[in-house]
Amino acid sequence: MLDVPVVLDRAAARPLADQLADALREAAAAGRLRVGERLPATRALAATLAVSRTVTAAAYDQLHAEGWIAGRQGAGTFVVAVPPARPVENPMPAPVSLASAPVLADLRPGSPWTAGLRTDVWRRAWRAAADSRPEQRPLRAGRPEFRRAVAEHIVRHRGLVVDPAAVLATAGTTAAVTELALAVLRRGDTVAVEEPGYPRAVGALRAAGLQVQPAPVDDDGLVVAALPTEARAVYCTPAHQFPLGGRLPAARRVELVTWARERSAWVIEDDYDGELRYDVAPLPLLAAVGPDVVIHLGTASKILTPTLGVGWLAGPTGVVDSVLDYRNAAGAGPGEAGQRVFTALVDSGDLSRHLRRVRKELAARRELLVSALATAGLAARGDQAGAHVVIPLANSETERRVVAAAQGAGLLLDGLGRCYAGPADRAGVTLGYAAPATRADLAAALPALVRLLIGAAPAAMSQPSASR
């Protein structure tokens, strides 16, 4: 006889056979049935439990199919493996906290003005995106209509004529940097990065096994003459150096392309917020100056939202082919859902209209922020572009103190220190002005911000560069 308590609930939705299989599985897991033990015949068990033999036979079939029992008929049925105990407690980790502290204003750089994206525009784009049916196989290069839309966006807003065939969809800039590291560069290669620079690009390069070598930056961006000779590639932000805010002058652009050509090195041009310029027209892209050596990366993160996971890469044939080869081999490639939404926004003209609003709003916010700082004798550093400025501070200790004090006051700031791949030789804070929902929200945070910074910022470093 089966020395196992089996309680079947005839009123339950779960079939009796499944209930019996559960009970036997649990008995084995609890140690009440052991490997080698013989189970009663299906007929005898059916009689004991007052169920039809169909029920016991189905339960045994299930356990047999699962591999816990074997044999059956003739020689009898035996337990051949013991299932794991069903965990009473959840074996998975404790919840990761998704909440954050109450915040007066998020002034970290990198966030777009998502509140400025009109709800009707957003909805219209998603509705249009639903019009095309799902694909059966991933399009590793991206959806053809997305690549065409990106080419249109680039020529309209960045002045570069590019064939849609030379455009690849990416999951965003850092995802593209990772792909380039794995597909185009070799493990152990040295990549020059701006110092200070964009920490996530450095993180992506290092995580992919590349050596990162810092190269100095001045008010105009990357100092090309100081690039390390052994670099196989350089990652840079020529339109709006992150974080210092300079724009690479034309002569240095030519110099950088020449540098790359002489070494057969690659230039990765991260044009993260190149659409956002409030004074003069932008310079020609590096990709226009050196289409044979420049890999251009763009993103929807700063002009729309990072959560679409939409970016693009435009580059020479060899690079495009290598990235596609990598994607095919590794089964990788950007998701297409965000591409659909972005395409709809370009095709309707809504993206261009939204961009005009964003430029107008962010230029006004920059003016508001810079003026508030100036009245307190604080000079903001960085071009009239993008969505952040830098306030120089005396040293790293002051920087840490200001960031901590700001957090205490409900203001999220980033220190310059986190933008260094090596030891920091400057100190300061980066102030992003796009995240607050309205200009009034930003204005409301300014008094507290100015109080914090006064005294912390050395007058000596308050250069008259506010209006660069």
Residues 421-460 binding its own copies (CB under 8 A) are 435
Q: Which residues between 191 and 230 bind its own copies (CB under 8 A)?
A: 200-201, 203-204, 206-209
C-alpha–C-alpha distance, residues 250 and 31, integer Å: 77
Residue written as tokens 């100190």?
Answer: 427
The one segment of 286-294, 356-364, 385-393, 416-424 that binds its own copies by CB under 8 A: 286-294
Q: Tell me whether residue 47 or residue 280 sits nearer to its own copies (CB atom).
A: 280
Q: Which of 71, 306, 405, 461 binds its own copies (CB under 8 A)?
A: 306
Q: Tell me whether residue 100 or residue 264 sits nearer to its own copies (CB atom).
A: 100
Q: Tell me whether residue 141 or residue 149 sits nearer to its own copies (CB atom).
A: 141
Q: Tell me whether residue 162 or residue 378 sits nearer to its own copies (CB atom).
A: 162
Minimum distance, C-beta of residue 454 to its own copies, in the bound complex (Å): 28
Minimum distance, C-beta of residue 456 to its own copies, in the bound complex (Å): 26
Site string for its own copies, 37-76 (x = CB under 8 A): ------------------------xx--xxxx--------
Number of residues written out for the chain = 468
Minimum distance, C-beta of residue 25 to its own copies, in the bound complex (Å): 9
Q: Which residues between 364 and 393 bind its own copies (CB under 8 A)?
A: none
Q: Tell me whether residue 117 or residue 378 sits nearer to its own copies (CB atom).
A: 117
CA distances from 388 to 45, 244, 321, 362, 429 (A): 75, 9, 36, 9, 10
Minimum distance, C-beta of residue 126 to its own copies, in the bound complex (Å): 3
CA distances from 259 to 195, 200, 255, 295, 296 (A): 18, 25, 6, 15, 17
Q: Which two tokens stand for residue 51?
A: 């169920």
Q: Which residues between 230 and 259 bind its own copies (CB under 8 A)?
A: 249-254, 257
Minimum distance, C-beta of residue 254 to its own copies, in the bound complex (Å): 6
Q: Which two tokens stand for residue 330?
A: 């590794």
Burial class (CB in 10 A: 0-12, 13-18, 19+), 406: buried
H or E stretch including 312?
strand 311-314
Q: Which residues between 77 and 116 bind its own copies (CB under 8 A)?
A: 80-84, 86-87, 90-96, 98, 106, 110-112, 114
- Is 329 a residue that touches its own copies (CB under 8 A)? yes
Q: Tell me whether residue 67 or residue 377 sits nearer to its own copies (CB atom).
A: 67
Q: Which of 49, 149, 323, 341 binds its own copies (CB under 8 A)?
A: 341
Whether the CB-CB separation of 386 and 276 falls below 8 Å is answered with yes
Minimum distance, C-beta of residue 122 to its own copies, in the bound complex (Å): 6
**Paired sense of beta strands 77-79 and 388-393, if any:** unpaired
**Paired sense of beta strands 233-236 and 266-270, if any:** parallel
- Is 26 a residue that touches its own copies (CB under 8 A)? no
Minimum distance, C-beta of residue 133 to its own copies, in the bound complex (Å): 7
H or E stretch including 70?
strand 69-71
Q: Which of 330, 404, 444, 454 binds its own copies (CB under 8 A)?
A: 330
C-alpha–C-alpha distance, residues 74 and 79, integer Å: 15
Whether the CB-CB separation of 439 and 112 falls below 8 Å is answered with no
From 357, 434, 339, select the one nearest 125 (Cα to Cα). 339
C-alpha–C-alpha distance, residues 384 and 245, integer Å: 8
DSSP bridge partners of 194 = 215
Q: Which of 14, 52, 103, 123 binds its own copies (CB under 8 A)?
A: 123
Q: Which two tokens stand for residue 287?
A: 């990709």
C-alpha–C-alpha distance, residues 43 and 57, integer Å: 8
Apex CA 252: angle with CA 247 and CA 253, to 5°? 80
Whether the CB-CB separation of 345 and 125 falls below 8 Å is answered with yes
Q: Which of 42, 77, 178, 396 binds its own copies (CB under 8 A)?
A: 178
- With CB under 8 A, what is the number of residues at the site for its own copies? 113
Q: Which of 47, 280, 444, 454 binds its own copies (CB under 8 A)?
A: 280
Q: Which two tokens stand for residue 249?
A: 């002058």
Q: Which two tokens stand for residue 39?
A: 């189970």
The one segment of 49-57, 235-243, 320-328, 356-364 that binds its own copies by CB under 8 A: 320-328
Q: Which residues between 137 and 166 bind its own copies (CB under 8 A)?
A: 137-139, 141, 144, 161-166
- Is 317 a residue that touches its own copies (CB under 8 A)? yes
